Amino acid sequence: MRDRNTGIWDEVSLSVTGPVKIIDPHLVSSFFDDYKTAYLYATVELENRSGWVAECSLSIEVTAEVEDNICLVEHFQTQNLSIPPGAHVQYSFPELFFYKPNLWWPNGMGKQSLYNIIISVDVKGFGESDMWNHLFGFRKIESYIDNVTGGRLFKVNGQPVFIRGGNWILSDGLLRLSKKRYQTDIKFHADMNFNMIRCWGGGLAERPEFYHYCDVYGLLVWQEFWITGDVDGRGVPISNPNGPLDHDLFMLCARDTVKLLRNHASLALWVGGNEQVPPEDINAALKHDLRLHPLFETGHGNGTLIKGLVGMLDTDPSLYLDGTRVYVQGSMWDGFADGKGNFTDGPYEIQNPEDFFKDNFYNYGFNPEVGSVGMPVAATIRATMPKEGWKIPKFKILDNGYVEEVPNPIWDYHKYIPYSKPGSVRDQILQYGTPKDLDDFCLKSQLVNYVQYRALLEGWTSHMWSKFTGVLIWKTQNPWPGLRGQFYDHFHDQTAGFYGCRSAAEPIHVQLNLATYCIEVVNTTSHKLSDVAIETSIWDLEGTCPYYNVYERLSVLPKKTVTITEMKYPESKNPKPVYFLLLKLYHMSDYRILSRNFYWLHLSVGDYKLLEPYRTKKIPLKITSKVISQGYTYEVLMEVENTSKKPNLEGQLHKNNFCSVVGKGGYDDSLHKFTEDNAENKRQAKILEKFSKLFSRESNSLRVVEINGADVGVAFFLHFSVHMSEEENKEGKDTRILPVHYSDNYFSLVPGERMSIKMNFEVPPGKSPRIRLSGWNYDELTVL
């Protein structure tokens, strides 16, 4: 986007204070005794703008929320100060002691506990002059180069974090920045089970609300300064080769940005520039200004105090500009890519899914950028482009047998990445058959999106700690209606790649290594998995189950990826050319599912073209729904059951056919329980009655829709979407209600299996929602 940093583009606000103003407080925490005790340091600048001596009472209050809207005051401290007229002073509070503070953890590792810090100043004869408050998380972040992999390793509260995240470009290309959009963006990243966002150097330092939601949802932030391709002599027209035109102004903005962001628990590190280092003088100034306080240097334990050391520090760490986070000079230096600044990030094109698992796919420990395709759904193409842009690519067969995609000029302008790479990757969309039109092309592209991004993250996780410390995907979203790598479009409609990532990045995950065909279990948590089992079932296109096995009494150590067994079905007698694989990892004690993973696979040198006639299969479904609405906000719970006849398998694990995955954002069995337990139904109804005044529409009744079908088989690639009701539709109008937060989507069900999907959304005033279901072998139909 041109002119993205010209003129006044950020929020402008006016504030009124009394004679003494609070400026740029800095909060720092440190620990000892294995996180049982902590100290909070706080320094604040005060400016007396009056013409007389201000007799001040300066207070700091720390509260923790113990229940909804019930807070406990953990600390309250007041200091009396005299500030001369016109003076600008700095004051550090005596350190505050905490016993067993609630810790802040990244997404997937624990709760994001946040304390509310309030600093206020009262002036004698005036009253409260100014007040500042901020949510603050107690956590320790370490970052250093790992000896085993050569990649940069991050630890939070002493636990290594395997980084799986993405590159963030900008919330909106026209800088229409809003708290509501930020919340959706960041929650989407958390919903994908990501734990880091890289704020790319070609973007900007986002509004504080962005970092607030990173704090709330547990996304670590890699914050880059504004050094990229437009300040290094590249580009058309040629940019300034010596970095920013005004180096002093750049450093003024950099220091101001540090002060704005440094109190956020999610902020993990500072990086000088994208794929380059800043000019020598800027780089030296950033290194100096962002130097670590001795307490946070690696040799001192990065913020973990030896008992008795507190009080003996020469300098309060909150007096530093930051002092707690590592500064890395560029995105390919010091543990990222090859660590030396060579262009060793990427690649950015379609890949063979199995290649992500191979040892030679990427040679360095932490890849800051690896990207691929990002086609949205057809409705987005129609909503953003003229009819000339609805034409799908031409498939040009080359002399070597590979296919080159030739997109229309509008797609080319919007940075379309082809689904083929002549010479190394066969066209992944054509593997499902030649698309007939835009809808068919986009549906098949979603199949590829899911497989591509699940394989990318599963491939990296397969080598967790042995070869890699992390990966960031280029990129997660688009600030405009672009077609390059994305997991949701500019309207906030998720692609299937979103859910492929969500599956692959589960904290506890069962997966198939596509290079070795070995079944692996990933445990990124700090707890050992004991007494777990894996159910493995193969389903063919006729609806039969030619292979079934259970591997019992397994254990997986913390922070490990373990190979369990080889999946030998492809080597069996008469394997089917196209088949489905369902993996379930579960607790043997109560059959709770920890991870469920569904694959569609073909034999080597084969393709998925047999799935094309499978679209005519009519698989019966039963859909039970429950709706709760509060004003314009809806929560809908859908239980979807494949009611086709289940094969009678000896010892089949029928008890977990309902996918009740444990953990934040996982599958929810509450609707299934609701339908079976009328007493629980009544209890929930009584609870809801207490809040009846808050609800404009509320329904405890269940709606059941049955889709008839005489065939037996997998209900493949089911997809929910939310729309405005039919009577409000106009021909050609985009009827989607967005954003919608789904617990899962683009999912499949084997015979007899059922799953509940939870969705949350808001409707525009005066509109009513309709929920539609579509799938590979289902035309779109309204189910609610």
Beta bridge partners of 538: 547, 581
In this predicted structure, the answer to whether residue 570 has a pLDDT above a threshold of 80 is yes
Helix axes 247-261 and 208-217, enclosed angle (nearest 10): 40
Residues 126 and 570: their CA atoms lie apart, in Å, by 81
- Is the bond leading into 415 cis (omega within 30 degrees of zero)? no
**H helices present in 509-656, as ranges:** 611-614
Residue type, 53: V
Annotated active-site residue 728? The verdict is no
At 68, the pLDDT band (50, 70, 90 cuts) reads confident
Token readout for 532 is 């777990």
Task: Give the mean pLDDT of the chain.
Answer: 91
**pLDDT score for 81:** 96
Kind of pairing between the strands at 470-474 and 163-168: parallel
Evaluate whether 566 touches 517 at the Cβ level (below 8 Å).
Answer: yes
Query: What's the full length of the chain, in residues?
Result: 784
47 DSSP β-pair partners:
21, 88
Strands 470-474 and 366-371: parallel
- Mean pLDDT score, 331-354: 97
pLDDT for residue 681: 44
* Alpha helix segments (H runs only) across 438-478: 438-462
Q: 413: which 2 tokens?
A: 């302008």
Are the C-beta atoms of 202 and 228 separated by less than 8 Å? yes
Model pLDDT for residues 688-731, shown as the tens digit of each residue:
444 443 444 555 679 999 999 999 999 999 999 999 987 656 66
Does residue 142 carry a catalytic annotation? Answer: no
- The predicted pLDDT at position 5 comes to 57
- Phi and psi of 121, rounded to 5°? -130, 125
Point out the least confidently predicted range of 200-209, 352-361, 604-613, 768-777. 200-209
| pTM score, whole prediction | 0.93
Which pLDDT score is estimated for 654?
45
Pairing mode, strands 37-48 and 96-99 = antiparallel
Q: Of 335 and 677, which is predicted with more confidence?
A: 335
Q: Which of 178-192, 519-533, 671-685 has the lowest mean pLDDT?
A: 671-685
Residues in CB range of 417: below 8 A, 6 or more apart: 348, 349, 350, 371, 372, 373, 374, 483, 484, 485
Q: How confident is the model at residue 195 (pLDDT cuts 50, 70, 90)?
A: very high
SS3 category, 604: coil
- CA 44-47-51 angle, to 5 degrees, is 155
Q: What are the distances in angstroms from CA 87 to CA 21, 380, 429?
A: 11, 57, 68
User: Once rounded to an integer, what is the mean pLDDT over residues 163-168?
Assistant: 98
**How sure is the predictor about 650, in pLDDT bands with cuts at 50, 70 and 90?**
low
Express each pLDDT in 256-282 by its tens digit. Answer: 999 999 999 999 999 999 999 999 999
Tokens representing residue 349 in the block? 């094109």
What residues does 632 pair with on adjacent strands?
A: none
* 658 confidence band (pLDDT: 50, 70, 90): very low
At residue 660, the pLDDT reads: 46
- Whether the Cβ atoms of residue 297 and residue 291 lie closer than 8 Å to each other: no
pLDDT at 3: 58
> Among residues 206, 275, 405, 639, which one is catalytic?
275
What is residue 6's predicted lDDT score, i.e. its pLDDT? 64
Catalytic residue selected from 47, 95, 224, 369: 369
Residue type, 31: F
Tokens at residue 259, please? 């002060």
Portion of the chain with pLDDT greater than 90, in percent: 81
E strand spans, 540-686: 547-556, 560-566, 578-587, 593-602, 621-630, 633-642
Q: Give the span between the Cα atoms of 198 and 177, in whole angstroms.
A: 18
pLDDT digits (tens, 9 = 90+) for 363-415: 999 999 999 999 999 999 999 999 999 999 999 999 999 999 999 999 999 99
